[in-house]
Copies of this chain bind each other. A is one copy, B any other.
């Protein structure tokens, strides 16, 4: 049956002995050095095969003081947007046979610190980080002081002075709002998201810019922030329906919120896309499945992933290169959820009392 005794892994020394050469010869074979004649090479390789040799990369890294590891810290694996970024990262890495140390913070600053420390102890060459709100320059410095590279993914923080890849949130917020304005809406709410985050500020800025350009008033009571998971959409809808002067259109901070919001509206017998226009942000695949389909501003999560890896590689290769911030252009995807009612809110108030 199976041999459960934990056998010691075979070393280069043993291979060398078996093949009747010195250890340095084994290394040279492993490195594909052309100075080793074919016969010796074959002998060494077949010894490796026979003994089941597996290279010890940790030992090599210690000796050469360089590492093959990269780190990846995401906030929450359940967010489909992050899953897609993950695909981009993984497919870019797979091509080079690279491998990644991986952890999730679940939006906890303590977890993030713990993960960064742990990765640095493993001497990663760089870390791709979806920063938790509250991340400071000190977190980044900790990484850089060990000579590792840091790339911020998805959430931008100019004040952290490191490479970043993000979506043009201002532009995106503006596109979403302009789309609603073109649909005849004049009272448009901006819902969800944390005001501390650069992302939120960007989307809000775009939202306000579109309103101002259209000569519409910016009403602070129409901006209601809060967290950003699907469940929070329900709470946001509750608060919107409490307003005395209801909006006719809702621009949600992200798709997850928008979907949660649409579910809540349906429970109140308000039909998204008919009674209220809805727009989200992210372009997650579920938006297409929902009824009505969710109009959204799509950033390019896969592209974000592949570019994050590339940024990290560039930084590792050339630590002195000037800082780079890649800003991906978003794209408006119009579906049924934004074709909603353009009349005055009277009708909607009536509807909402139907329960």
Contacts and interface: CB of A to CB of B under 8 A. Distances in A.
A102 B104 contact: no
A209 interface: no
Contacts of A123: 9, 56-58
Interface stretch (A111-119, A199-207, A245-253): A111-119
Nearest to A105: B94
Contacts of A56: 62, 121, 123
A104 B77 contact: no
B78 A99 contact: no
Contacts of A106: 90-91, 94
A182 interface: no
Interface in A204-243: none
Contacts of A111: 94
Contacts of A5: 319
A31 B12 CA distance: 31
B77 A90 contact: yes
Interface of A: 2, 4-9, 52, 54-59, 61-62, 65, 67, 69, 72, 76-78, 80, 83-84, 86-87, 90-91, 93-94, 97, 99-104, 106, 111, 114-115, 117-123, 144-147, 161, 259, 263, 286, 289-291, 319-320
